[in-house]
Amino acid sequence: MKNLLGSSIKDLENVALNCGQAAFRGRQIYNWLYNYKNRFKSIDEINILPLNFRNQLIKEGFKFGELNLKEKYLANDGTLKLLLNTRDNESVECVGIPTKRRLTACLSSQVGCPMDCKFCATGKEGLKRSLKVSEILDQILFIENVMNQKVSNIVFMGMGEPLLNIDELLLSIRSINEDFDISQRKITVSTVAIPKMIGKLSEMSFQKLGRCQFTLAISLHASNQKIRETIIPSAKNYHIKNIIDDCREFVKKTGRRVSFEYLMLDGVNDKLEHADELSNLIKGFQCHVNLIKYNQIDEVEFKQTTSKNAQLFQTRLSDNGINVSFRKSRGLDKNAACGQLRQNAKIK
């Protein structure tokens, strides 16, 4: 199978030339493929191309999409959640989050996840496989097509651990930046943190992309090593202080601040002593803390922190000189937790 999604304009010019067509035919494919207004991504639909060229592309096995729509949910706040089937009958989730000024696409990088974070529905069935670049990018097209709006921001915060699929991740970022015309500064890569991979991410970004301007978000969720190992089993392989050291180095190399994701869990990590401990851990370099309301799932014992505790925690961080905000949860009435839609679909 030859998937054209993720191809650069030069790649598509070469496809046209290899088929005996002029190079501008490749540019026509390129302009059609990455235009969100073209709702049906099929070679048959590119009427601007000669029929014999379209037939040749189809005969030689060229395609655009990798995924098929299985389920679609629209929450009361306008948040769109899609469950998409792969060609090997697996499924992945993606989310479209609209506001007045932007449309953010939350993308998956793997089918399932190997990290087994105790608060997350995605890891309950483990890792099936990593996604190809075309499967990652196809999620954007589905969101744009369903919402009839161009995606403006990207967050790799869906299913999977992006740094365990780093080659396809960086190819996706290249295409998102150059082909979908979305600035790297509007892309966020979220990771639980894998030993040695934070440094590798910046190094490979400069090698493959020429720059590293996207935001790195660390799913920290704890103020010390003991708590982190309790909720993230893989944390035993990567001490929290080493993570922070690697983040400091990332900031030095890229000039980009690091975000720390902090899921507020009642009685686990939401006390003022934890806020002070977190402040001491991350102070002194360019970073930001995103406090997150926990989306409840039935299979785990964790509970949301109270609004009062969340506010006190945020205030203490701010008083300690830490840049902090509370991220508003979206789509709470429609399988809001990551992996929850996929898991519920399997139960049906």
Amino acid 196: pLDDT: 96
The domain defined by 2-63 carries CATH number 1.10.150.530: yes
pLDDT exceeds 70 at position 23: yes
Say if residues 291 and 314 touch (Cβ distance below 8 Å): yes
Say if residues 4 and 15 touch (Cβ distance below 8 Å): yes
For residue 288, what are its two tokens? 């930001």
pLDDT exceeds 80 at position 299: no
pTM comes to 0.92
pLDDT tens across 81-117, in order? 999 999 999 999 999 999 999 999 999 999 999 998 9
| Bridge partner residues of 69 (DSSP) | 84
Complete DSSP assignment for 247-287: HHHHHHHH--PEEEEEEEBTTTT-SHHHHHHHHHHHTTSSE
Mean pLDDT of the chain: 92
- Residue where the block lists tokens 């720390």: 260
For residue 190, what are its two tokens? 């979220």
* CATH fold of 68-347: TIM Barrel (3.20.20)
CA dihedral 218, 307, 296, 269 (to 10 degrees): 50
The angle that helices 23-33 and 9-18 make with each other, rounded to 10 degrees, is 130
The angle at the Cα of 60, spanning 58 to 64, to the nearest 5 degrees, equals 50
Helix (H) and strand (E) counts for the chain? 11, 14
Could you give the C-alpha distances from 84 to 138, 221, 284, 296, in angstroms and in order? 10, 29, 42, 23
pLDDT tens across 231-287, in order? 999 999 999 999 999 999 999 999 999 999 999 999 999 999 999 999 999 999 999
Report domain extents, the chain.
2-63, 68-347
pLDDT tens across 116-137, in order? 898 888 877 799 999 999 999 9
* Helix (H) or strand (E) run with residue 218 in it: strand 215-219
Three-state SS at 320 = coil
Give catalytic residue positions: 93, 338
